[in-house]
C-alpha cells in the first residue's frame, strides 16, 4: 500500500495572479497535483498526497466555477473572507494556521508542499524545518519567485502548465482543440502535377513548362473575379477584436444593493438584463460564444453587490441557470472541463444547460 505522507497547501490567489481571470479555467488542478506528487517522489522519496487544500475567496470573479475543477481533483477548497482591508494576506494567514496544525497533529505527514511564490511564507518554511518536515515550494513556471523562499525550501518545483493566449478566452468553446495546429487542406492542383511527374520519364523541363503555363490559367480566372475582389476588399479585413473590459466599463450600475433571497437575485438579474447597455453586451457575448467569467464581469458592473450565495448556490453558473430561466439567454457547455458560455435560447445550441427552478435550488439539484 502506498504511503500517503504528502500534504499540499495552495495559495490559489497567488498561484493564479497575473494570468487574468478569464484564463483560470484552462489550468488543470489534476495536472498540477500530478506534477507535485511526481516531484515529491523523485526528490524526497515520498508517497502519495494525503491532504490537499486550496485557499482563496472562491466567490471572486472567475474562481467560483474553477472551484469545480479544483474539487474534482480531490483538493479541499477553503473559503477565505477578509475581515479588514488587508485582503491580500487573508488567505496566507489561514493557510499558515492550517499548515502548522496539520504538522503538529498528523505525524504521518512528512512532506509539505507550499504552492506559492510569496516570500511571506518563509517563516512557515523555517518552522516546518524545525518540526523535521521536508518542504517543497512550487508555482507556475513563469511566475517570479521570492529569492529567500526559493532558498529556504528543500526543493522548488516550477509547474509547467501550457499557457493559453488571452484571445482564447473570447473564442467559442464549440470548436476543435485550440492548441491543435490548423489542418491544411491538400492542394488539388499540386496532386495531379506530382502524379504526372512520377509517370513521366522525360527530363524535368516538362514540369517546368507546366509551371510556366499555370500563371496563364490563373490570369484568366483573375480576369473574371478581379472586379468582385476589389468590391469585396473591405469585407476581407479582420473583424475588430472586442474589448470586453472596455464594454463592461460602459455599463451603469442598475442595482446597487445585495439580494435578500434567491427570488430577489433572480429579479435583480432580470432588471439588469433590461438595461440597454447590458443587453448590447450580452448580445455580442452570445454571438462570440463568450465564457461565463466575461458575463459575470458585466453583471458585476451592473449589480456590484450581488453574489451567487444570495441565490443559495455556490457557483455563478448555477445561479445564472436559475436567474436566466425566463429570459432569452441560457448557458451551454461542451463538457464539464470547460467554462459555460452564454447562448441565445432560441438557437437551441448543443450542450445547453437545463434551467434550475427555485425548488431545484432548495433541493440542491446540480
pLDDT of residue 262 exceeding 80, the answer is yes
Got the DSSP string for 249-272?
HTPPPS--SPPSSHHHHHHHHHHH
Maximum average pLDDT range among 39-43, 119-123, 245-249, 305-309: 119-123
Q: Which three cell numbers stand for residue 208?
A: 517546368
* Domain residue ranges in the chain: 4-162, 244-363
- Classify strands 134-140 and 48-56 as parallel, antiparallel or unpaired: unpaired
pLDDT of residue 291 exceeding 70, the answer is yes
pLDDT value, residue 269: 92
The pTM of the full predicted model, rounded to 2 decimals, is 0.48
Beta-carbon count within 10 A of 340 CB: 25
More confident residue, 166 or 250: 250
Maximum average pLDDT range among 10-24, 66-80, 240-254, 303-317: 66-80
Buried b (16+ CB within 10 A) or exposed e, 69-108: bbeebebebbebeeeeeeeeebbbebbbebbeebbeeeee
What CA–CA distance (Å, rounded) separates 26 from 140?
A: 13
Q: Are 48 and 155 in contact (CB under 8 A)?
A: no
Contacts of 322 (CB under 8 A, 6+ apart): 262, 265, 266, 311, 313, 355, 356, 357, 358, 360, 361
pLDDT value, residue 21: 43
What CA–CA distance (Å, rounded) separates 169 from 27?
A: 13
Q: Is the dihedral of CA 170, 171, 174, 179 positive or negative?
A: negative
Contacts of 275 (CB under 8 A, 6+ apart): 251, 252, 254, 302
What CA–CA distance (Å, rounded) separates 67 from 83?
A: 22
CATH number of 4-162: 3.40.50.1010
Paired residues of 332 in beta bridges: 341, 352
Question: If you ran DSSP here, which 8-state letter would residue 183 be given?
Answer: P
Model confidence band, residue 160 (pLDDT cutoffs 50, 70, 90)? confident
For 168, phi then psi, to 5°, come to -65, -25
Got the DSSP string for 51-96?
EEEEEE-TTSTTHHHHHHHHHHTTPEEEE---SSS-GGGHHHHHHH
Q: Are 337 and 302 in contact (CB under 8 A)?
A: no
pLDDT tens sequence across 186-199: 444 444 444 444 44
Model confidence band, residue 241 (pLDDT cutoffs 50, 70, 90)? low
Q: Are 312 and 263 in contact (CB under 8 A)?
A: no
Paired residues of 113 in beta bridges: 8, 136
Model confidence band, residue 366 (pLDDT cutoffs 50, 70, 90)? low
Farthest CA pair distance, the chain:
86
More confident residue, 11 or 161: 11
Model confidence band, residue 154 (pLDDT cutoffs 50, 70, 90)? confident
What CA–CA distance (Å, rounded) separates 345 from 27?
A: 29
Q: Are 292 and 341 in contact (CB under 8 A)?
A: yes
What CA–CA distance (Å, rounded) separates 242 from 298?
A: 14
Q: Which three cell numbers stand for residue 37?
A: 506528487
What CA–CA distance (Å, rounded) separates 153 from 139?
A: 13
Amino acid at each position: 500500500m502506498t504511503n500517503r505522507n504528502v500534504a499540499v497547501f495552495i495559495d490559489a490567489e497567488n498561484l493564479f495572479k497575473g494570468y487574468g481571470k478569464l484564463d483560470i479555467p484552462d489550468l488543470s488542478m489534476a495536472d498540477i497535483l500530478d506534477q507535485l506528487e511526481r516531484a515529491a517522489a523523485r526528490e524526497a522519496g515520498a508517497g502519495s498526497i494525503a491532504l490537499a487544500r486550496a485557499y482563496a475567496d472562491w466567490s471572486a470573479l472567475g474562481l467560483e466555477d474553477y472551484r469545480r475543477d479544483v474539487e474534482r481533483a480531490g483538493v479541499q477548497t477553503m473559503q477565505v473572507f477578509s475581515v479588514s482591508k488587508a485582503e491580500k494576506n487573508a488567505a496566507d494567514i489561514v493557510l499558515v494556521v492550517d499548515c502548522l496544525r496539520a504538522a503538529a497533529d498528523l505525524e504521518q505527514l512528512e512532506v509539505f508542499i507550499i504552492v506559492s511564490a510569496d516570500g511571506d511564507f518563509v517563516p512557515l518554511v523555517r518552522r516546518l524545518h524545525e518540526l523535521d518536515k521536508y518542504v517543497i515550494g512550487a508555482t507556475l513556471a513563469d511566475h517570479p519567485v521570492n529569492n529567500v523562499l526559493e532558498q529556504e525550501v528543500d526543493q522548488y518545483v516550477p509547474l509547467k502548465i501550457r499557457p493559453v493566449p488571452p484571445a482564447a478566452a473570447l473564442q467559442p468553446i464549440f470548436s476543435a482543440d485550440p492548441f491543435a495546429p490548423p489542418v491544411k487542406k491538400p492542394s488539388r492542383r499540386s496532386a495531379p502535377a506530382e502524379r504526372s511527374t512520377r509517370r513521366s520519364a522525360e527530363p524535368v523541363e516538362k514540369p517546368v513548362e507546366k509551371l510556366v503555363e499555370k500563371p496563364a490559367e490563373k490570369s484568366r480566372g483573375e480576369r473574371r473575379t478581379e472586379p468582385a475582389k476589389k468590391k469585396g476588399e473591405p469585407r476581407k479585413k479582420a473583424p475588430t477584436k472586442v474589448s470586453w473590459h472596455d464594454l463592461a466599463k460602459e455599463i451603469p450600475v442598475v442595482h446597487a444593493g445585495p439580494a435578500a433571497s434567491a427570488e430577489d437575485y433572480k429579479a435583480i438579474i432580470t432588471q439588469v438584463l433590461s438595461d440597454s447597455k447590458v443587453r448590447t453586451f450580452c448580445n455580442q457575448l452570445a454571438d462570440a460564444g463568450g465564457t461565463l467569467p466575461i458575463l459575470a464581469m458585466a453583471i458585476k458592473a451592473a449589480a456590484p453587490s450581488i453574489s451567487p450565495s444570495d441565490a443559495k448556490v455556490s457557483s455563478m453558473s448555477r445561479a445564472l441557470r436559475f436567474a436566466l430561466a425566463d429570459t432569452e439567454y441560457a448557458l451551454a457547455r461542451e463538457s464539464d472541463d470547460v467554462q459555460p458560455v452564454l447562448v441565445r435560447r432560441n438557437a437551441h445550441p448543443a450542450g445547453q444547460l437545463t434551467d434550475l427552478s427555485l425548488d431545484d435550488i432548495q433541493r440542491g439539484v446540480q
